[in-house]
């Protein structure tokens, strides 16, 4: 926020002379603040949707007082961290009550015109123009800051809503997978046992390849189905977390080494980037190992011979980030929204469960997994909390 404010001040060229003019304006405009606040909310209530939001007198009184304080601090400054923090709270509060951005812009015009009218009534023309320009610069900054906070809050709500929708979708699929695996596992195990018995009997009676080979093929397919059922259960009913403080660097390194033979076969180069100091987080090491292994193997398969896959461990105050990047062709735009869906795969023979399981294991840790992709590569960023919430 500090950086944004500095950019805005530089953009509108608000200088020391402007600040001095604004401070001098305060005693001139302060007596009119209540009337300006009334005009502001009259303009806001002119729209039915906004009028519905501002229908309660207590709410109007509360916001009217806040508006007067905003006008006063805007002119007097100082333009420090407290000033910026107040503007952030104002934008957040407007989003909370549902006040649309375009209504705020038009209502801000009421304040601007009211200031101008009183400035030109109180000052000679030359001084009035200079003071009005200072006010315009200030209000442009104020409006830009409010709109920025609108966008931050709205984006945050959209992200939260998308995560909630995705979680609900995953929970529904977990229920389906758990039921399916439970119903299928018993008959599959029974069929496997019967095929084993049949194979033994055939071998005792002559080991006719025409009979044994089809049975062995069927047994092999049942083994594949058993693996798929195990993946269903890993996604639907993952074992409870067994978290302990762990150096994430060592967990990531071990997972990466597991996939080094795959990288060698595909001619891909693996690079691990870690900080010199331990990156400790409270994690279930086995589950994080599986998350990293899944991301790394996918990245290796995404690159061509001579491609690069980089795994980085990045400490942050509250999280440890595990970032897996490749320089492959990227994930197609129509595929990207579906990568965590169970059973969805673009690989021939893929089960479509790997990323679903990884996503569910990250969620178990109360972490997040984000993906960015373009024609020059893909990056997955997993953020694991350093300390699990109890």
3-state helix/strand/coil string of 270-287:
EEEECCCCCCEEEECHHH
* pLDDT for position 296: 95
In the chain (390 residues long), the average pLDDT of successive 10-residue segments reads 74 90 93 88 72 67 80 87 74 60 73 92 93 92 78 65 68 68 75 81 72 79 77 70 93 94 93 94 93 94 93 94 95 87 69 79 89 93 86
179's CB contacts (< 8 A; 6+ apart) are none
Chain centroid to CA 195: how far? 49
Nearest to 232 by CA among 180, 289, 192: 180
Query: Which residues pair with residue 322 across a beta bridge?
Result: 313, 382
Query: What is the pLDDT, as a whole number, of residue 214?
Result: 80
**Predicted pLDDT at 216:** 79
- Set out the domains of the chain in order of their start, with CATH numbers: 2-161 (1.10.490.10), 164-236 (1.10.287), 244-385 (3.30.565.10)
Residue 256 backbone phi and psi in degrees, to 5:
-65, -45
Q: Which structure tokens are listed for 198?
A: 């049949």
Cross-strand partners of 382: 322, 369
What are the CA-CA distances from residue 380 to residues 114, 297, 358 (Å)?
Answer: 51, 12, 11
pLDDT at 330: 93
DSSP string, 196-228: HHHHHHHHHTT--HHHHHHHHHHHHHHHHHHHH
* Phi, psi angle pair for 217, to nearest 5°: -65, -45
Which position has the token pair 């006008």? 71
Please name the residues in contact with 47: beta carbons below 8 A apart, sequence gap of 6 or more.
Answer: 103
The pLDDT, as a whole number, for residue 111 is 87
Whether the Cβ atoms of residue 232 and residue 343 lie closer than 8 Å to each other: no
CA distances for 210 relative to 203, 207, 217, angstroms: 12, 9, 12
In the chain, the largest separation of any two C-alpha atoms, in whole Å, equals: 116
- Cis amide linkage into residue 78, ω under 30° from 0: yes
Give the contacts of 270 (CB within 8 A, at least 6 positions apart). 256, 259, 260, 263, 296, 300, 309, 311
Helix (H, G, I), strand (E, B) or coil at 127: helix
State which H helix or E strand residue 306 sits in: none
How far is it, in rounded angstroms, from Cα 325 to Cα 219? 39
């Amino acid at each position: 926020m500090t950086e944004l404010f500095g950019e805005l001040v530089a953009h509108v060229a608000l200088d020391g002379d402007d600040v001095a003019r604004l401070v001098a304006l305060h005693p001139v405009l302060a007596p009119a603040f209540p009337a300006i606040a009334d005009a502001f909310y009259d303009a806001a209530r002119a729209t039915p949707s906004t009028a519905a939001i501002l229908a309660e007198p207590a709410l109007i009184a509360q916001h009217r007082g806040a508006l007067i304080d905003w006008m006063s601090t805007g002119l007097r400054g100082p333009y420090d961290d407290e000033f910026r923090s107040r503007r952030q709270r104002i934008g957040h509060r407007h989003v909370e009550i549902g006040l649309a951005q375009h209504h705020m812009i038009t209502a801000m015009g009421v304040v601007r015109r009211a200031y101008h009218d009183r400035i030109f009534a109180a000052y000679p023309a030359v001084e009035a123009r200079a003071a009005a320009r200072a006010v315009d610069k200030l209000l442009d900054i104020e409006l830009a800051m409010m709109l920025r906070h609108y966008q931050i809050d709205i984006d945050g709500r959209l992200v939260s809503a998308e995560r909630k929708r995705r979680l609900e979708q995953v929970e529904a699929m977990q229920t389906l997978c758990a039921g399916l695996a439970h119903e299928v596992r018993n008959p599959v195990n029974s069929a496997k046992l019967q095929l084993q018995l049949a194979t033994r009997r055939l071998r005792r009676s002559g080991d006719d390849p025409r009979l044994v080979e089809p049975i062995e093929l069927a047994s092999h397919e049942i083994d594949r189905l058993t693996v798929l059922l195990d993946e269903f259960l890993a996604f639907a009913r993952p074992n409870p977390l067994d978290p302990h403080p762990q150096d994430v660097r060592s967990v990531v390194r071990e997972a990466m080494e597991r996939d080094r033979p795959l990288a060698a076969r595909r001619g891909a180069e693996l690079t691990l980037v870690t900080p010199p100091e331990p990156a400790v987080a409270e994690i279930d090491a086995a589950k994080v190992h599986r998350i990293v292994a899944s991301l790394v193997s996918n990245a290796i398969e995404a690159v061509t011979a001579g491609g690069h896959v980089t795994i980085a461990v990045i400490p942050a105050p509250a999280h440890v980030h595990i970032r897996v990047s490749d320089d492959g062709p990227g994930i197609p735009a129509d595929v990207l929204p579906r990568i965590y869906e169970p059973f969805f795969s673009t690989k021939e023979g893929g089960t479509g469960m790997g990323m679903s399981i990884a996503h569910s294991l990250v969620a178990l840790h109360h972490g997040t997994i984000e993906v960015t992709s373009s024609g020059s590569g893909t990056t997955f960023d997993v953020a694991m909390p350093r300390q699990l919430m109890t």
